[in-house]
Amino acid sequence: MNETLKAIENRYSCRDFKPEMLSEEVLQAIAKAAVQAPSAMNRQPWRIVVVKDQELMQEIEQEGLKTLSDMEDKSAYNRIMERGGKLFYGAPSMIVVPIDSAEYASAMLDCGIVCQNIVLAAESLGVGSVICGLLRTAFAKEERAKEWAARLKFPEGYVLGCSVLLGYANTSKQPHEPDIEKIVVLE
Ligand SMILES: Cc1cc2nc3c(=O)[nH]c(=O)nc-3n(C[C@H](O)[C@H](O)[C@H](O)COP(=O)(O)O)c2cc1C
Which of 9, 89, 132, 171 to mutate to test ligand 1, by most ligand atoms within 8 A of the CB atom? Answer: 132
How would residue 1 be classed by pLDDT, with cut points 50, 70 and 90?
confident
Neighbours of 165 (CB within 10 A): 27
Distance of alpha carbon 2 from alpha carbon 52, whole angstroms? 32
Ligand 1 pocket list (CB less than 6 A) = 12-13, 15, 130-134, 162, 175-176
pTM for the full predicted model: 0.97
pLDDT in tens, 63-93: 999 999 999 999 999 999 998 999 999 999 9
Which of 15, 95, 130 to mutate to test ligand 1, by most ligand atoms within 8 A of the CB atom? Answer: 130
Alpha helices by DSSP H, listed for the chain, are 3-10, 24-35, 54-70, 75-82, 104-124, 142-151
Whether 18 contacts 89, CB under 8 Å: no
Backbone torsions φ then ψ of 101, nearest 5 degrees: -105, 20
Using the 8-state DSSP alphabet, how is residue 88 labeled? S
Mean pLDDT over 20-26 rounds to 98
pLDDT of the residue at 103: 84
Residue nearest to atom 31 of ligand 1 (CA): 131
Distance of alpha carbon 20 from alpha carbon 22, whole angstroms? 7
